[in-house]
C-alpha cells in the first residue's frame, strides 16, 4: 500500500466519470428487476425516483460519482445525498464530502459533526458512554429515528428491556409490547483502527437517515431506532489518522506502521469479549443492557468486497439456533439485494468460524440478540489504488458472485458498499420489525427455560475454595455482563454434590443464562472441523483457577439463596495475638497478594520455603511472613487496612513458625517491547496496572543501548511476539529514512502512546542480546514467553533447553491440564498440584542434559514415531534376527523427554564437556499433564502425545541469574488469572529461584539392566 501517484489517480477519476455515465442505464435495468422484493409496498423504483427528486444535493451527489471507481460499486441508495436547508450534511461541517480521497476524519471532528446534526435535527440524539477510553477520550453513541420515537426513547427502552427479561410478562402482554415497540439496530464503527471507512460512512448514514424522505428510508425511521457508535476504538482511530497524515506529508518515505492503537492492545480489542478489560468493551456491554438492541452490527474491513457474516462453523454451541438462522437470513437478504443491483463481490460463509465468544459483538450474541459483522474492502487509509484480489476472487458455492481479480479501489467504493448493504439490512428489519422483536422475546424466554429444558440447572462457585478473591472477580465479570449471581443462604445439597453456605450460584433460569453457560462450560473442538479462526477453548473457571461446578440437578433451583445486588467483595481481616512476633499470610495465589507486596514496598517480608502449620491452620509454601522486628511501627494498621481492601487474611503470631525462609523481593521490573508489535505486551501491562505492580515500559532499543541493564532492573519480562528469534532481534530493517513514532504537528496523538521514538527501525540487535545475557549473568531474571523463548535458546544464552517442531500436534488456543513437577521452586508457591493453563500450539520445549552441540535428539527426542523396526511378529511379539545369536530386547525407557534421568553412564562419559553440570540444569517447574488423555480441558487437541508431559515452565540458571521460559502464555487477554502468579512469583523471588533445587536423581545403571548383552 504505497502512496498513490496523484496524476494517475486524477486520470483514473476522469475515466471513471465517463464510465459511470454509460453504466447508469445498466443500473436502472437492474432496479426494475428488484421491485417484487419490498414487503412494505414501496418498490426500489419509487425509492430511486424519490432520490432523484429536486431535493437532492447535486454537488455532493456529483462528488459521490466522481469518487466511485465504477458505477457498479454504488447503488441507488447511496448515489446521491438529499438536500436540507436546516440539517447540515457532513461536508457543511467538515469541509469535504464523505469518502473524499486522501481524507480521514479525526474523532473530534466526527463528534463535532454528530453534535451539529443533533442540534439541527430532532431525529438525532447524541449520548456519551459512561467510561472514557484509556487515553481519556470520549466514546459517543448516536441515536437516529423518527422524532416521535426519539421523544419517547425511554418507553422504547422499557419495552425491549421487558422482552429481554420475560419473567415478568406473559405472551399476551409480550405481543402487545412487540407491536408497540421498535427494534434498536446498532451499527458500530471501526473497532479496528486500520479499517478506516466506517467512521466516515456512518456520518453520511446518520444524515441520510435523518433527512431523506424516500419510502425506503421512512420505513426504517418508522420501525427502528438506529444506534450508531461513530468509532469504537477512539484512541486507535486518532493514531491511525496521524499515521495516514504522516504518510501524506512525507511522500516517498517509509511511514510508521500502527504499532499502538489504544493504550494496551491493538486488533485484540475485538478479543476482549470474555475479559472486558477494556473501557470500550465495558461501554458496549452497558449500552447493550440499556437498549437491548435486537441487532449489533460491527463494521470491519479486511476482505474484498463485502463479506457479510455467517461463518463456516462450527458455530458457538451455546447459542439459541434461532440466532444462527438469523445470521443466515440477514446475510442472504443483503447478498440477494446487492447482487440484484449488479454489485460484484458480495458473499458470506467462507471467512471466520462462529465459535468463540471473545468478540465484541457477543454483547449481543451472548444476550439473545444478533451480533453480526461486515468485512469490506479497505485500503488502509483513504488512497485510491489498484488492488489485486487473491483467492477470494474465485467462485465457490458460497461466492457465486465473486469479487473481481483486479480492481481500482477507493474509500468511496468501500463506503458505498457498506452503506448500501446496511441500509438494506435495516430496511429488511424495519419491514419485519415484529418478527425480530418476537424472535428476541422467544430467545429470552427459552434462555429462562434452559435450566429445566436442556440444562444445566446452575453453576456453583463453592465458597470453600482457595482463591475467593479471584472467585469474586469472576462473579463480578458475570454481573458486568448482566448475569444474575446468587449467594447460598445455607448449605446446598443436591444429587452427589454439596456446597457450603456463601457459595455463589449462577442459575440457568435467567435471561442471560447462555452467556454464563458458554463462559463456564467446557469446549470441544473437533480437529476435522474447519481451521479455527481464533481460540478454541476458554473455560473461565479453569483459566482463573477457580473451582466451578456444573450442576444438572434441578432441585438446586429451590435452594434458599439471595441475589447479589452489588459486586462481590472479599473482606479479609487481621486476627491473632496482640504481642506479635510476626504476621503470616497464606499464599493462595490470589493476585492481590502481588499488590500487597509492591504496595508495602518498605516492609520486609519473607517467603516460607515449605508448607507449615500454626495451630490447626495450614500455610502453603511461599506464605508471607512479616516480622515485627525491623519493620515500621504502623505495620499492624497497614496490614489490617490492606487485608480488608485486598481480601487476604493475616494471622498475628507471638512465635515465629519453624520453617526456612528467604526475603521476598520488591524487584525493579521492566516490560520489554519491540517497535514491530506491542499487542501481547499490552495484556501484561493491563494486569500490572490493575494489580498496581510498578514497571518500566522499555523498548528493544533501550536494551540495545544499555550495557548495564542490571544497574536499572532486576526483572525483564518479554511477552510473546510472532516471528523467528532473528526477526525479533533484528526488528525493522535499517533501510530508508528514520521512521519516527513521536508527537509532532502532523501526528499530535502519538504523544499519548505509552512509548515514543525518533526511529522505529533496528531491533535490539546482537548488542541487545549481549546486554540481556550480561543482565542475566549478573543476577537478573529474564522471563520469555511462548515463541520468544527462541531468543535465549537460539542465541546460546541458555543451554539444556530445545524447541521441538510439532509433527502432529494440533492445539490451537486451548486450555490444558498441567501439574507442578517441582513444587519447591518459588515459581510454584501458593499453587496446588495442578493448574489449567492456556497454550496455543507452540513452543514444544525439550529439556536436555547436553548443550545443543549434539542437536535436538537424545532420549525422548523421537516423539510421535513409536512402534518398532519392521520385521516378523507384531508390536508386542518381538523380531527375530535370522541365523545369528539373538539379543534380548533393548531396555524399555521411561516415557518423557530427554533429561538427566535418561542418560546411561556410558552416554554421560561420551558427552564430556557438553554435559550440562547439575547446578546449571534447567529446572522444570510445571509440565503438561503426563497422560495424553487427561491433557485437554477445553478446545482442540490432536497429536497430544507430543504435548503430554512436555515442560510448560522452565527455570534455567545462567551465571548469577535466571531465564524463565513459559510454553503457556500466563497473561492472555485478561482470561488467565489463574496463571498470573507464575509471573509474580518468579519476579518476587528472582534472587531466590535456586531455593530447594532438588538433587538430580541418581543415574540409572543401564548396564545392570542390560546385563544380557
Looking at the Cβ atoms of 310 and 786, the one nearer to Zn ion is 310
Looking at the Cβ atoms of 12 and 300, the one nearer to Zn ion is 300
Terminal C-alpha separation, the chain = 68
The three cell numbers of residue 580 are: 506479635
Give the separation between CA 827 and CA 951, rounded to whole angstroms: 14
Looking at the Cβ atoms of 300 and 467, the one nearer to Zn ion is 300
> Shortest Cβ distance from residue 780 to Zn ion (Å)?
39
* 164-193 residues near Zn ion, rule: CB under 5 A: 192
Give me the 689-728 binding string for Zn ion, x by CB under 5 A, dash otherwise. ----------------------------------------
Let me know: does 73 contact 416? Beta carbons within 8 Å: yes
Give the separation between CA 947 and CA 300, rounded to whole angstroms: 36
Looking at the Cβ atoms of 195 and 238, the one nearer to Zn ion is 195
- What are the distances in angstroms from CA 674 to CA 688, 775, 788? 18, 18, 12
With residue 285 as reference, give the H or E element that holds it: helix 279-291
Looking at the Cβ atoms of 300 and 710, the one nearer to Zn ion is 300
Report the C-alpha dihedral over residues 637, 638, 643, 645, rounded to 10 degrees.
110
Let me know: does 227 contact 296? Beta carbons within 8 Å: no
Looking at the Cβ atoms of 270 and 592, the one nearer to Zn ion is 270
DSSP 867-910: S--S-SS-SSS----TTSPPPPPPPP--SS---GGG--HHHHHH
Let me know: does 645 contact 606? Beta carbons within 8 Å: no
> Shortest Cβ distance from residue 795 to Zn ion (Å)?
35
Interface with Zn ion: number of residues (CB under 5 A): 3
Residues 6+ apart with CB under 8 A from 175: 438
> Shortest Cβ distance from residue 373 to Zn ion (Å)?
8
* 429-448 residues near Zn ion, rule: CB under 5 A: none
Looking at the Cβ atoms of 195 and 473, the one nearer to Zn ion is 195
Give the separation between CA 402 and CA 437, rounded to whole angstroms: 33
Looking at the Cβ atoms of 188 and 676, the one nearer to Zn ion is 188
Give me the 623-662 binding string for Zn ion, x by CB under 5 A, dash otherwise. ----------------------------------------
Give the separation between CA 407 and CA 304, rounded to whole angstroms: 10
Looking at the Cβ atoms of 123 and 300, the one nearer to Zn ion is 300
Range in contact with Zn ion (rule: CB under 5 A) among 35-43, 142-150, 299-307, 327-335: 299-307
Range in contact with Zn ion (rule: CB under 5 A) among 296-304, 396-404, 420-428, 701-709: 296-304
Looking at the Cβ atoms of 192 and 399, the one nearer to Zn ion is 192
The beta strand positions in 449-524, using DSSP E, are 458-461, 486-488, 492-494, 497-499, 504-507
> Shortest Cβ distance from residue 200 to Zn ion (Å)?
16
Q: Which residue has the cell 498441567?
A: 818
Looking at the Cβ atoms of 378 and 482, the one nearer to Zn ion is 378
Let me know: does 733 contact 726? Beta carbons within 8 Å: no
Looking at the Cβ atoms of 135 and 195, the one nearer to Zn ion is 195
> Shortest Cβ distance from residue 190 to Zn ion (Å)?
8
Residue (of 613, 585, 615) closest to 600 by Cα position: 585
> Shortest Cβ distance from residue 483 to Zn ion (Å)?
27
Q: Is 300 in the site for Zn ion (CB under 5 A)?
A: yes
- What are the distances in angstroms from CA 871 to CA 227, 250, 881? 72, 71, 9
Residue (of 353, 161, 189, 357) closest to 276 by Cα position: 357
> Shortest Cβ distance from residue 331 to Zn ion (Å)?
17
The three cell numbers of residue 468 are: 475467593
Residues 6+ apart with CB under 8 A from 601: 666
Give 460's DSSP letter: E
The three cell numbers of residue 878 are: 518381538
Looking at the Cβ atoms of 300 and 823, the one nearer to Zn ion is 300
> Shortest Cβ distance from residue 295 to Zn ion (Å)?
18
DSSP 598-641: HHTTTS--EEESS-EEETTEEE-TT-EEEESTTS-TTHHHHHHH
With residue 297 as reference, give the H or E element that holds it: strand 295-301
Give the separation between CA 139 and CA 238, rounded to whole angstroms: 13
Looking at the Cβ atoms of 193 and 623, the one nearer to Zn ion is 193
* 471-490 residues near Zn ion, rule: CB under 5 A: none
Q: Is 292 in the site for Zn ion (CB under 5 A)?
A: no
> Shortest Cβ distance from residue 294 to Zn ion (Å)?
23
Determine whether 112 is exposed, middle or buried from the number of CB atoms within 10 Å of its CB (0-12, 13-18, 19+): middle
DSSP 984-1001: HHHHHTTT-TTTTPPPPP
Range in contact with Zn ion (rule: CB under 5 A) among 232-240, 278-286, 295-303, 652-660: 295-303
> Shortest Cβ distance from residue 707 to Zn ion (Å)?
42
Q: Is 372 in the site for Zn ion (CB under 5 A)?
A: no
> Shortest Cβ distance from residue 72 to Zn ion (Å)?
25
> Shortest Cβ distance from residue 199 to Zn ion (Å)?
13
* 72-91 residues near Zn ion, rule: CB under 5 A: none
DSSP 21-42: HHHHHHHHHHHHHTGGG-TTS-
Let me know: does 611 contact 686? Beta carbons within 8 Å: no
Give the separation between CA 977 and CA 704, rounded to whole angstroms: 32
Give the separation between CA 688 and CA 970, rounded to whole angstroms: 13
Range in contact with Zn ion (rule: CB under 5 A) among 277-285, 293-301, 579-587, 773-781: 293-301
Give the separation between CA 720 and CA 680, rounded to whole angstroms: 6
Give me the 192-211 binding string for Zn ion, x by CB under 5 A, dash otherwise. x--x----------------
Q: Which residue has the cell 525518533?
A: 758
The three cell numbers of residue 328 are: 443466515
> Shortest Cβ distance from residue 378 to Zn ion (Å)?
9
Looking at the Cβ atoms of 236 and 275, the one nearer to Zn ion is 236
> Shortest Cβ distance from residue 1 to Zn ion (Å)?
16
Range in contact with Zn ion (rule: CB under 5 A) among 292-300, 451-459, 494-502, 539-547: 292-300
> Shortest Cβ distance from residue 302 to Zn ion (Å)?
6
Looking at the Cβ atoms of 192 and 812, the one nearer to Zn ion is 192
Looking at the Cβ atoms of 195 and 517, the one nearer to Zn ion is 195
* 729-758 residues near Zn ion, rule: CB under 5 A: none
CB neighbours (10 Å) of residue 297? Answer: 27
Range in contact with Zn ion (rule: CB under 5 A) among 153-161, 167-175, 294-302, 509-517: 294-302
Rg over alpha carbons for the chain, rounded to the nearest Å, is 31
> Shortest Cβ distance from residue 133 to Zn ion (Å)?
18
> Shortest Cβ distance from residue 787 to Zn ion (Å)?
24
> Shortest Cβ distance from residue 770 to Zn ion (Å)?
39
Looking at the Cβ atoms of 192 and 237, the one nearer to Zn ion is 192
Chain residues in the site for Zn ion (CB under 5 A):
192, 195, 300
Amino acid at each position: 500500500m504505497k502512496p498513490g501517484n496523484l496524476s494517475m489517480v486524477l486520470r483514473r477519476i476522469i475515466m471513471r466519470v465517463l464510465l459511470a455515465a454509460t453504466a447508469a442505464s445498466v443500473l436502472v435495468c437492474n432496479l426494475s428487476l428488484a421491485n417484487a422484493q419490498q414487503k412494505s409496498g414501496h418498490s426500489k423504483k419509487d425509492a430511486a425516483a424519490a432520490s432523484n427528486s429536486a431535493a437532492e444535493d447535486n454537488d455532493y451527489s456529483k462528488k459521490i460519482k466522481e469518487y466511485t471507481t465504477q458505477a457498479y460499486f454504488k447503488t441507488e441508495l447511496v448515489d446521491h445525498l438529499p438536500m436540507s436547508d436546516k440539517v447540515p450534511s457532513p461536508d457543511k461541517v467538515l469541509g469535504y464530502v464523505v469518502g473524499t480521497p486522501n481524507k480521514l476524519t479525526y474523532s473530534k471532528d466526527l463528534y463535532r459533526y454528530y453534535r451539529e446534526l443533533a442540534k439541527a435535527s430532532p431525529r438525532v440524539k447524541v449520548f456519551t458512554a459512561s467510561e472514557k477510553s484509556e487515553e481519556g477520550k470520549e466514546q459517543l453513541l448516536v441515536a437516529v429515528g423518527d422524532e416521535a420515537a426519539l421523544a419517547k426513547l425511554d418507553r422504547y427502552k422499557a419495552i425491549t428491556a421487558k422482552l429481554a427479561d420475560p419473567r415478568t410478562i406473559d405472551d399476551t402482554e409480550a405481543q402487545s409490547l412487540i407491536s408497540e415497540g421498535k427494534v434498536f439496530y446498532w451499527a458500530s464503527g471501526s473497532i479496528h483502527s486500520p479499517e478506516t471507512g466506517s467512521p466516515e460512512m456512518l456520518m453520511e448514514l446518520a444524515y441520510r437517515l435523518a433527512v431523506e424522505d424516500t419510502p425506503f428510508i421512512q420505513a426504517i425511521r418508522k420501525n427502528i431506532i438506529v444506534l450508531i457508535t461513530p468509532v469504537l476504538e477512539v484512541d486507535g482511530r486518532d493514531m491511525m489518522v496521524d499515521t495516514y497524515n504522516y504518510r501524506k506529508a512525507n511522500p516517498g518515505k517509509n511511514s510508521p506502521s500502527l504499532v499502538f492503537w489504544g493504550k494496551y492492545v491493538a486488533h485484540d480489542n475485538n478479543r476482549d469479549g470474555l475479559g472486558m478489560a477494556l473501557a470500550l468493551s465495558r461501554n458496549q456491554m452497558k449500552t447493550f443492557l440499556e437498549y437491548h438492541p435486537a441487532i449489533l452490527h460491527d463494521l470491519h474491513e479486511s476482505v474484498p468486497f463485502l463479506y457479510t457474516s455467517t461463518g463456516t462453523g462450527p458455530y458457538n454451541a451455546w447459542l439459541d439456533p434461532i440466532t444462527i438462522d438469523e445470521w443466515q437470513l440477514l446475510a442472504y437478504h443483503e447478498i440477494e439485494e446487492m447482487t440484484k443491483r449488479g454489485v460484484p463481490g458480495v458473499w458470506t460463509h467462507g471467512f471466520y468460524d462462529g465459535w468463540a465468544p471473545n468478540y465484541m459483538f457477543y454483547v449481543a450474541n451472548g444476550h439473545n440478540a444478533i451480533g453480526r459483522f461486515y468485512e469490506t474492502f479497505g485500503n488502509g487509509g483513504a488512497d485510491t489504488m489498484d488492488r489485486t484480489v487473491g483467492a477470494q476472487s474465485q467462485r465457490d458455492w458460497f461466492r457465486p458472485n465473486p469479487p473481481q481479480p483486479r480492481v481500482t479501489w477507493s474509500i468511496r467504493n468501500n463506503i458505498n458498499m457498506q452503506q448500501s448493504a446496511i441500509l438494506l439490512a435495516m430496511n429488511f428489519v424495519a419491514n419485519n420489525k415484529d418478527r425480530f422483536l418476537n424472535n428476541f422475546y422467544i430467545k429470552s424466554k427459552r434462555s429462562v427455560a434452559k435450566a429445566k429444558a436442556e440444562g444445566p440447572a446452575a453453576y456453583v462457585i463453592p465458597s470453600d475454595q482457595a482463591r475467593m478473591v479471584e472467585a469474586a472477580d469472576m462473579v463480578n465479570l458475570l454481573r458486568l455482563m448482566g448475569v444474575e449471581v446468587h449467594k447460598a443462604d445455607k448449605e446446598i445439597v443436591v444429587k452427589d454434590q454439596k456446597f457450603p453456605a456463601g457459595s455463589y450460584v449462577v442459575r440457568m433460569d435467567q435471561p442471560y443464562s447462555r452467556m454464563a453457560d458458554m463462559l463456564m462450560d467446557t469446549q470441544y473442538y473437533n480437529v476435522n472441523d474447519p481451521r479455527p479462526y481464533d481460540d478454541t477453548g476458554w473455560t473461565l473457571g479453569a483459566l482463573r483457577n477457580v473451582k466451578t461446578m456444573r450442576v444438572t440437578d434441578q432441585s438446586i433451583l429451590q435452594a434458599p439463596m439471595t441475589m447479589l445486588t452489588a459486586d462481590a467483595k472479599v473482606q479479609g481481616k487481621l486476627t491473632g495475638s496482640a504481642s506479635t512476633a510476626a504476621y503470616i499470610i497464606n499464599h493462595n495465589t490470589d493476585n492481590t497478594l502481588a499488590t500487597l507486596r509492591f504496595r508495602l514496598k518498605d516492609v520486609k517480608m519473607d517467603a516460607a520455603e515449605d508448607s507449615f502449620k500454626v495451630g490447626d491452620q495450614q500455610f502453603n509454601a511461599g506464605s508471607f511472613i512479616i516480622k515485627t522486628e525491623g519493620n515500621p511501627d504502623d505495620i499492624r494498621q497497614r496490614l489490617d487496612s490492606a487485608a480488608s481492601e485486598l481480601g487476604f487474611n493475616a494471622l498475628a503470631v507471638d512465635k515465629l513458625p519453624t520453617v526456612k525462609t528467604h526475603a521476598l523481593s520488591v524487584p525493579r521490573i521492566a516490560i520489554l517491547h519491540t517497535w514491530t508489535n506491542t499487542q501481547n505486551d499490552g495484556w501484561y501491562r493491563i494486569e500490572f496496572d490493575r494489580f498496581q505492580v510498578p514497571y518500566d515500559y522499555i523498548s528493544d532499543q533501550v536494551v540495545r543501548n544499555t550495557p548495564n541493564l542490571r544497574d536499572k532492573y532486576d526483572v525483564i519480562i518479554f511477552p510473546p511476539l510472532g516471528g523467528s528469534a532473528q526477526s525479533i532481534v533484528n526488528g525493522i530493517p535499517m533501510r530508508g529514512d528514520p521512521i519516527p513514532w513521536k508527537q509532532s504537528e502532523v501526528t499530535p496523538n502519538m504523544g499519548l502512546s505509552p512509548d515514543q521514538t525518533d526511529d522505529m527501525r533496528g531491533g535490539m540487535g546482537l548488542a541487545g542480546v549481549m546486554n540481556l545475557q550480561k543482565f542475566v549473568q549478573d543476577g537478573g531474571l529474564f522471563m520469555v514467553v511462548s515463541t520468544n523463548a527462541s531468543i535465549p535458546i537460539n542465541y546460546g544464552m541458555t543451554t539444556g533447553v530445545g524447541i521441538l517442531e510439532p509433527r502432529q500436534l494440533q492445539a490451537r488456543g486451548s486450555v490444558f491440564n498441567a501439574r507442578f513437577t517441582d513444587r519447591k521452586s518459588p515459581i510454584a508457591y501458593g499453587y496446588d498440584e495442578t493448574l489449567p493453563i492456556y497454550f496455543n500450539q507452540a513452543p514444544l520445549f525439550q529439556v536436555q542434559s547436553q548443550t545443543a552441540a549434539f542437536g535436538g535428539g537424545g532420549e525422548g527426542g523421537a516423539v510421535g514415531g513409536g512402534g518398532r523396526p519392521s520385521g516378523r511378529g507384531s508390536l508386542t511379539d518381538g523380531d527375530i534376527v535370522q541365523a545369528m545369536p539373538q539379543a534380548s530386547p533393548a531396555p524399555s525407557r521411561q516415557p518423557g523427554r530427554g533429561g538427566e534421568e535418561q542418560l546411561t553412564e556410558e552416554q554421560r562419559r561420551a558427552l564430556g564437556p557438553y554435559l550440562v553440570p547439575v547446578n546449571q540444569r534447567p529446572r522444570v517447574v510445571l509440565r503438561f499433564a503426563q497422560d495424553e488423555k487427561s491433557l485437554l480441558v477445553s478446545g482442540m487437541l490432536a497429536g497430544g502425545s507430543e504435548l503430554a508431559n512436555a515442560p510448560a515452565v522452565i527455570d534455567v540458571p545462567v551465571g548469577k541469574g535466571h531465564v524463565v521460559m513459559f510454553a503457556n502464555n500466563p497473561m492472555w487477554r485478561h482470561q488467565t488469572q489463574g496463571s498470573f502468579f507464575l509471573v509474580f512469583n518468579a519476579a518476587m523471588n528472582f534472587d531466590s529461584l535456586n531455593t530447594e533445587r532438588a538433587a538430580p536423581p541418581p543415574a540409572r545403571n543401564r548396564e545392570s539392566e542390560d546385563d544380557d548383552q
